[in-house]
Amino acid sequence: MPDPPFDITGRVAIITGGGTGIGRATALVLATFGADVVLASRRMPNLESVAEEVRALGRRALPVQTDVHESGDIQEMVRRTVREFGKIDILVNNAGGSYRAPAEEVTAQHWDRMVSLNLRGPFLCSQAAGEVMREQGGGVIVNIASGAATGGAWGVLPYGAAKAGLVQMTKLLAGEWAQHHIRVNCIAVGAITSEGFLRSMAKQGLDPDQVAGRNAMGRGGWPEEIAYPILFLASDASSFMTGETFGVNGGPRLA
């Protein structure tokens, strides 16, 4: 194990949803600890902004416009990463999202889009990056799920079901790919006061402090409070850990 075990100098990380919130914070934390970073999302201006921040830390950054609904975009993201950096050491499946609607109002289109974004996309990213990792002798995948996957939440049925699938996918991929020295773990996050969360709350007319504070700590998390657990899973500090999901969510509120 390297000393210090959190050192990831020279490793290459792909971060989907890398332009804002948890993705941006993760890019900066991984770069601070030595990684070069590939930033993927649909909005190129956001990616370029984060790429400049990464470069200011002395690491290389490659922004790649990517829609994880599109398998062709995912394949191109992986091809460009290998062409630019020669390898993929870390994949962070962070891209995702939701909006609230009661179960009786969920349409087939709504269901399909939530599953595509939150489960199908991470699988296709893992499959494409995993092929490179197998050929090079190993790697790490970190999936970002939600407390809605295990605890449930009103109005997010398709999202919660997709994230529950992501938790199960984590276990199954870990079991299949351990022989290739690929570790796969997952974080089930609570409410994080990112730009996306605040926009969602405003659109729904909800108080973000009230929604985010439904935990033992009584507050929402900060993106950096997810980025450092991601660093743990991406580094050799977690070298004997695979197939696991743990919550980073402010703790359970007791009745």
- Which one of 33, 123, 159, 197 is the catalytic residue? 159
For strands 12-16 and 90-93, give the pairing.
parallel
- Give the SS3 label for residue 131: helix
d(CA 15, CA 63): 10
Q: Is 76 exposed, middle or buried (0-12, 13-18, 19+ CB in 10 A)?
A: middle
Residue keyed to tokens 């296709």 = 124
**Is 18 exposed, middle or buried (CB count within 10 Å of its CB: 0-12, 13-18, 19+)?**
buried
Residue 231 in tokens: 């660093």
Q: Omega of the bond prior to 4 within 30 degrees of 0, cis?
A: yes
- What kind and span of H or E run contains 58? none
Note if 99 is an active site residue: no
Order of strands, sheet of 245-248, starting from the edge strand that comes earlier in the sequence: 61-65, 36-41, 12-16, 90-93, 139-146, 182-189, 245-248
Catalytic positions are 159
